[in-house]
Amino acid sequence: MNKLAFMFRTPPHGSASGREGLDALLATSALSEDIGVFFSHDGVYQLLTAQDPSAILARHYAPTFGLLELYDIEQVYVCQHSLTERGISSEQLSIPAQVLSPPEWQQHLANFTVRLSF
């Protein structure tokens, strides 16, 4: 069975990419237990607790990331460099995630045979 990595690299609002990635991730969890979720670049904004997309008439789907644990998705990683670049601390994230340095990031990502980017 393939090991699947879902990579979130885009900001949460302005496109449907993040929402579609989350939907795909949750649907795939019913078929596979070997899933990793990686947040980097502007994708780290997906996990911020203080989001209010009502001003742009967008749906607030970020709380749905809280379901990852319920779906037995335990391998959740955030790029430390991406957090630092954007002035975000791990305490501002809405879900528990392992914060990785760039070398650790590459090492963990290398364990997955299929990578889907959103």
Quickly state the pLDDT bin for 54 (edges 50, 70, 90).
low
> What are the C-alpha distances in Å from 109 to residues 37, 57, 65?
9, 34, 20
pLDDT, residue 50, reads 74
At residue 41, what are phi and psi to the nearest 5 degrees? 50, -135
**Predicted structure pTM score:** 0.91
User: How many domains does one find in the chain?
Assistant: 1
Q: What is the pLDDT of residues 56-71, one digit of tens each?
A: 666 777 778 989 999 9
Q: What is the pLDDT of residues 2-43, one digit of tens each?
A: 899 999 999 988 788 988 999 999 999 988 889 999 999 999
Quickly state the pLDDT bin for 55 (edges 50, 70, 90).
low
Q: What is the pLDDT of residues 66-91, one digit of tens each?
A: 899 999 999 999 999 999 999 999 99
pLDDT, residue 56, reads 61
Identify the domain containing residue 109 by its residue range. Answer: 4-117
Report how far residue 42's alpha carbon sits from residue 58's, in angstroms, rounded to the nearest whole number. Answer: 18
CATH number assigned to the domain comprising residue 74: 3.40.1260.10
Of 116, 47, 115, nearest to 83 by C-alpha is 47
- The DSSP letter of residue 19 is H
pLDDT, residue 111, reads 95
Q: Work out the mean pLDDT of the chain and round it to a whole number.
A: 91
